[in-house]
């Protein structure tokens, strides 16, 4: 099994993918790795900086136990994280409780996607894996809207290049700011109200948050689609993807597990690349410069090269 972990500022999402055998009649070579394609379990836990290695280890193992899964069956772990203080903790959790060294999605990891950002090292790992999964599953051009602590809009070209995007405060941050900066307005549940016109304070707040944020999302998407072209597909993901995405004029796909799929795809690509290097004759292992897809395209830089920018 493959354990994938997406560490966000608010929540950490875990998924377990089972291995899928090669299809009958499929051309299989010695350099082809078995695929992890079937998501058999997923969980969402809080991202707490104060939790210790052992606390996270107990939580993860208990989740496995409740799903009748064996920790010993995990043969690979891949992690995307936008919370650097948790990286060391999770690395130790993987090594101590799963006896496995995790693959972190970071500069230098093979993703198969050129990055057109001015400084590719600035792009968050979650945005990269979302982009990889969206292009693999839906093609390009496309836009991924990830409703997390921040809401991100990531744009992928027709050729499969990461172009950049938009970052704005998430709807939860907007709700918290309104509650903290006003003396009499209560904290409310973020939900779609029955009517736009609120007949009480709670209804008015919910209407403002929901329809105001929906207007923000569709306003940005309208401009992005104008730049990318009318054939652009828009995919929503993240904790509130279904809530906002189903009411948007532009979002046609809500993919709850897009990030988990992206982690799985990047893992497979790195394993396949490693197997092919091992199988290649020694004389053929001298790398040759690859022809860039686009003259402006930049690969995700290695940690060493990103420090010199």
**20-29 pLDDT per residue, tens:** 765 555 554 4
Is 269 within a domain? no
What's the pLDDT tens digit per position in 85-119? 999 999 999 999 999 999 999 888 999 999 999 99
- If you write DSSP's letter for every residue of the chain in order, what string do you get? -EEEEEE-SSEEEEEEEEEEPPPTT----TTPPPEEEEEEEEEEEE--TT--HHHHHHHHHHHHHHTT--GGG--EEEEEES-HHHHHHHHHHHHHHS--PPEE--TTS--S--B-SSSGGGS-HHHHHHHHHHHHHH-SSEEEEEESSEEEEEEE-TTS-EEEEEEEE-HHHHHHHHHHH-SSPPP------S-SS-SSHHHHHHHHHHHHHHHHHHHHHHHHHHHH-TT-EEEEEETTHHHHHTT-SS--EE-TTHHHHHHHHHHHHHHHHHHHHHHS-GGGGS--PPPPSSTT-BPPPPHHHHTT-
pLDDT band at residue 299, thresholds of 50, 70 and 90? Answer: low
Residues 62 and 152 grouped into a single domain: no
Using CA atoms, how far apart are residues 285 and 271, in angstroms rounded to an integer? Answer: 17
Residues 73 and 175 grouped into a single domain: no
Cβ neighbours for 244, distance < 8 A, ≥ 6 positions apart: 147, 171, 210, 213, 214, 217, 236, 251
Is 16 within a domain? yes
What's the pLDDT tens digit per position in 3-20? 999 999 999 999 999 987
Q: What is the mean pLDDT of residues 249-255?
A: 95
Is 301 within a domain? no
Q: Which of 71-80, 86-95, 114-123, 297-306 has the lowest mean pLDDT?
A: 297-306
Higher pLDDT, 272 or 100: 100
The answer, yes or no, to whether residue 46 has pLDDT greater than 60, is: yes
Residues 130 and 251 grouped into a single domain: yes
The model's pTM: 0.83
At 287 the pLDDT is: 56
At 276 the pLDDT is: 58
Is 31 within a domain? yes
Domain stops at, among 70, 104, 138: 104
Q: The domain that contains 83 carries what CATH number? A: 3.30.420.40
Give backbone dihedrals phi and psi of 49, rounded to 5 degrees, phi first.
-70, -20
- Mean pLDDT (the chain) is 87
Q: Are 305 and 115 in contact (CB under 8 A)?
A: no
Q: What is the mean pLDDT of residues 293-298?
A: 55
Cis peptide before 300 (omega within 30 of 0): no
pLDDT band at residue 36, thresholds of 50, 70 and 90? Answer: confident
Residues 8 and 99 grouped into a single domain: yes
- Domain count along the chain: 2
Residues 147 and 243 grouped into a single domain: yes
What's the pLDDT tens digit per position in 115-170? 999 998 899 999 999 999 999 999 999 999 999 999 999 999 999 999 999 999 99
Is 306 within a domain? no
What is the crossing angle of helices 258-279 and 125-138, to 10°? 90
At 153 the pLDDT is: 98
Domain stops at, among 241, 259, 277: 259
The answer, yes or no, to whether residue 35 has pLDDT greater than 90, is: no
Residues 100 and 129 grouped into a single domain: no
Is 292 within a domain? no
Is 185 within a domain? yes
Residues 135 and 252 grouped into a single domain: yes
Active site residues: 126
Share of the chain above pLDDT 70, in %: 83
pLDDT band at residue 294, thresholds of 50, 70 and 90? Answer: low
User: Cα dist. 184→56, 177, 193, 205, 263 in Å?
Assistant: 38, 13, 21, 12, 44
Is 278 within a domain? no
Q: Compute how many other C-beta atoms are within 10 angstroms of the C-beta atom of residue 204.
A: 16
Using CA atoms, how far apart are residues 188 and 14, in angstroms rounded to an integer? Answer: 28
Domain stops at, among 259, 277, 296: 259
Q: Compute how many other C-beta atoms are within 10 angstroms of the C-beta atom of residue 199.
A: 11
Q: Which of 75-79, 98-102, 191-195 has the lowest mean pLDDT?
A: 191-195
Residues 20 and 138 grouped into a single domain: no
CA dihedral 206, 209, 210, 215 (to 10 degrees): 150
Q: List the domain range (segments joined by +) for residue 70.
A: 1-104
Residues 171 and 93 grouped into a single domain: no
Residues 72 and 132 grouped into a single domain: no
The answer, yes or no, to whether residue 188 has pLDDT greater than 60, is: yes
Q: What is the mean pLDDT of residues 302-309?
A: 46
Residues 45 and 154 grouped into a single domain: no
Q: What is the mean pLDDT of residues 71-89?
A: 95
At 253 the pLDDT is: 94
The answer, yes or no, to whether residue 193 has pLDDT greater than 80, is: yes
User: Cα dist. 155→82, 141, 182, 234, 246 in Å?
Assistant: 19, 7, 36, 9, 20
Residues 97 and 169 grouped into a single domain: no
At 302 the pLDDT is: 52
């Amino acid at each position: 099994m493959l354990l994938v972990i997406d560490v966000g500022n608010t929540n950490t999402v875990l998924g377990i993918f089972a291995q899928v055998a090669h299809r009958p009649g499929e051309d299989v070579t010695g350099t082809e790795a078995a695929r992890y394609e079937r998501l058999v379990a997923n969980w969402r836990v809080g991202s707490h900086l104060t939790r210790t290695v052992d606390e996270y280890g107990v939580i993860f193992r208990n989740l496995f136990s409740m799903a009748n899964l064996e920790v010993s069956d995990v043969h690979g772990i891949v992690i995307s994280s936008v919370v650097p203080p948790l990286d060391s903790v999770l690395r130790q959790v993987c090594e101590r409780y799963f006896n496995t060294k995790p693959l972190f999605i970071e500069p230098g990891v093979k993703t198969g996607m050129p990055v057109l950002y001015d400084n590719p090292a600035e792009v968050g790992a979650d945005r990269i894996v979302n982009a990889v999964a969206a292009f693999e599953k839906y093609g390009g051009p496309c836009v991924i809207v990830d409703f997390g602590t921040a809401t991100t809009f990531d744009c992928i070209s027709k050729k499969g290049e990461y172009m950049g995007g938009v970052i704005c405060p998430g709807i939860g941050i907007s709700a918290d700011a309104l509650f903290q900066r006003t003396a009499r307005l209560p904290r409310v549940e973020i939900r779609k109200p029955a009517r736009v016109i609120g007949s009480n304070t709670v209804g008015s707040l919910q209407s403002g948050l929901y329809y105001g944020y929906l207007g923000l999302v569709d306003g940005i998407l309208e401009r992005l689609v104008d730049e990318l072209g009318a054939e652009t597909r828009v995919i929503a993901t993240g904790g509130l993807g279904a809530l906002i995405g189903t009411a948007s004029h532009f979002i046609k796909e809500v993919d709850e597990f897009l990030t988990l799929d992206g982690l799985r795809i990047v893992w497979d690509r790195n394993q396949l690349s490693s197997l092919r290097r091992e199988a290649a004759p020694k004389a053929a292992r001298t790398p040759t410069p690859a022809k860039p897809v686009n003259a402006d395209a930049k690969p995700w830089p290695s940690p060493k090269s990103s420090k010199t920018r």
